[in-house]
């Protein structure tokens, strides 16, 4: 009796792991297919993000540069007057 129960338990575990393995394989296959199909779109999206980030950096550096220039001029004038 115990032997039959052990076989049923082992069979249940085997089925569970088989379902998990099959599900993981299906998910991985679907993921690879989607990456291959959307490769060009992904590259375009990354290029747009990089361009946007570059534009934000340029604007930030320009703003910080003009702010820094005015501060340096202010400090230079203060030093010259003393």
More confident call, 52 vs 18: 52
Residue 10: predicted pLDDT: 62
Please check whether residues 2 and 31 belong to one and the same domain.
yes
Please check whether residues 60 and 45 belong to one and the same domain.
yes
Domain extent at residue 4: 1-37
Please check whether residues 20 and 47 belong to one and the same domain.
no
pLDDT bracket for residue 3 (50, 70, 90)? low
Please check whether residues 32 and 44 belong to one and the same domain.
no
Please check whether residues 51 and 82 belong to one and the same domain.
yes
Please check whether residues 16 and 43 belong to one and the same domain.
no
pLDDT digits (tens, 9 = 90+) for 54-82: 999 999 888 888 778 888 888 888 888 86
Burial 13-46 (b: 16+ CB within 10 A, else e): eeeeeeeeeeeeeeeeeeeeeeeeeeeeeeeeee
Structural domain count of the chain: 2
**Which tokens in the block code for residue 79?**
């030093």
pLDDT digits (tens, 9 = 90+) for 7-50: 556 667 678 778 888 888 888 888 788 777 765 667 778 888 99
d(CA 31, CA 33): 5
């Amino acid at each position: 009796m115990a032997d039959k129960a052990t076989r049923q338990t082992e069979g249940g575990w085997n089925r569970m792991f088989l379902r998990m393995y099959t599900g993981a394989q299906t998910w991985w296959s679907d993921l690879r297919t989607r990456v291959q199909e959307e490769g060009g779109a992904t590259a375009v999206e990354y290029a747009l993000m990089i361009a946007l980030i570059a534009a934000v950096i340029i604007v930030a550096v320009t703003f910080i540069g003009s702010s820094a220039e005015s501060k340096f001029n202010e400090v230079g004038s203060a030093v010259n007057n003393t």
